[in-house]
Each structure stands twice: as C-alpha cells, then as structure tokens.
Amino acid sequence: MPLTGLPARRGAPVPAHHMAGRDIGRRTGDSRVICAGVPRRGHHGLPQVDVAGLRKLPHRALQKVALMPEKTWAVAGGDVSLKAGATFDGSDREGSATSPLVELARSWNTSSGLQRIYASFAETTQVPSYTALNSSPTSGLFLGNPNLGREYSRTAQVGVRGAVAGWTAQADLFYRDDTDLVDWTYNPAVFGRQANPVDLHTSGGRRCSADRGTIAPSSLARRS
C-alpha cells in the first residue's frame, strides 16, 4: 500500500549519532561527562550530563507494533482487496498512539486497459528527537524546545494503473495533513533556528510510465 510518512525535518542539525565526538573527563556515579552539544544515549539507561548546560539527557524507551490483515474477493475479470489495520507507537515519556491504515483496491486480469484502481488512508506518528528536546533553548544556532510533543501525519491517496499498446502507466493523487510537525523555524530575535511544532498541508500527484523496463517517473506537490 502506498503510504506517505512524516516528511523529513528541514534545516535540522546533523543527528548526534552521526556527529564525531569523543568523551572527555571521567565517568561518575550515575552519569558521564560528554562533549558539549553531542548528546548520547546513556549506558544501561542512566542519565547523562551535558557540559554546557548541565542538563540531563534522559533515557527513552520506544515500542512499535503493526498489524495489517488483508482480504481478497474474486469478482468478474479480477478481484477486490481490502487491507485494514493499525500501528501502535509507544513511548514511556511522550505517551502512546494508535494509527489506522486502510486500503481498498479493484484489480483486473488484463494486459491492456485498466488494471488497478485504489484508495488508501494512513496515519503515522513519531516523537521529537533528543536534539530538538535537549538543545539549549536560549543559545546557539539551533535552539531546543523541551515542550515538544508527538508529531502526526495523515495521508489520503487514490491511484490508477493501466496499459495500452505495450505502455504501462500509473498515476496517484495524495493529500497529507501534518500536525505538530517539528521544524527548525527562524527566530530573528536570537539569529538562529528553534525547534517548534508546525502544521502543514500538502497535496500533489505522481505519474510513472514504463515501456520494456524503462521507467520515467514525475511528481508534483504543493505545500501550504
């Protein structure tokens, strides 16, 4: 099922696990001194301390379970299929969320003409990164925001596929609604970007044609 998840955050700094940094100082009882600005997950779930602001970077446990059963009915010239399920995303700090997923499709057993049409809806969710939550909210080029919550994205999509004279083509239209998506918005007061929740609405389409294995995709999207 074509699903569109949460879009990538724009202008975000490089994640901590991609940054080069070495531990400095020595380990103490339940924490370890680390390079300023390079948060790392604590050993054995223990909190750590950031040199710059002495802020604790807490451990976070995430769970994800998905279930997507499918049922197909044979009809004249093809079949009808229904997928319906849900995804559970759990967190011991941001709470849990259950997101629905559904797709209804009609297919035809033919090598020419209309072959498939479908309609789908999916919701996805994620929690803010440690960088967005724990970066300093008052200094630096990228300011953190400890009040960020869970992000949601809901996508509705319809599509069609067919073949004519050896050519196959597929076209899709979608609409995505993002709620509380974490983005790094510019803050002129401090000459930097701050992690803030934003709402986005995106609509667009995609066309993909193929002939003898040569694929030529194209897409168009509009965001507001």
**Tens-place pLDDT, residues 75-130:** 999 999 999 999 999 998 888 999 999 999 999 998 889 999 999 999 999 999 88
Query: What is this structure's pTM?
Result: 0.67
Contact assessment for residue 102 and residue 83, using Cβ atoms and an 8 Å cutoff: yes
Flag the least confident range among 10-14, 87-91, 149-153, 171-175. Answer: 10-14
d(CA 22, CA 110): 60
Strands 151-164 and 113-126: antiparallel
pLDDT of residue 54: 37
Write the CA distances from 49 to 44, 142, 204, 205, 212, integer angstroms.
15, 19, 45, 47, 59
Residue 85 bridge partners (DSSP): 101
List of E strands, the chain = 33-34, 48-50, 56-57, 62-67, 70-75, 78-91, 97-108, 113-126, 142-143, 151-164, 167-187, 192-211, 214-223
For residues 201 and 52, the model is more confident at: 201
138-164 residue pLDDT tens: 888 888 898 899 999 999 999 999 988
pLDDT of residue 41: 37
Q: 6 pLDDT exceeds 50? A: yes
Strands 192-211 and 70-75: unpaired
pLDDT of residue 222: 62
DSSP-derived secondary structure for 126-140: E---HHHHHS-SSSS
Flag the least confident range among 7-16, 79-88, 102-111, 165-174. Answer: 7-16
pLDDT of residue 35: 30
Task: Compute the average pLDDT of residues 62-70.
Answer: 93
Positive/negative CA dihedral, 8, 12, 18, 24: negative
**pLDDT > 90: what percent of the chain?**
40
Contact assessment for residue 142 and residue 184, using Cβ atoms and an 8 Å cutoff: yes
End-to-end CA distance of the chain: 25
d(CA 173, CA 221): 9
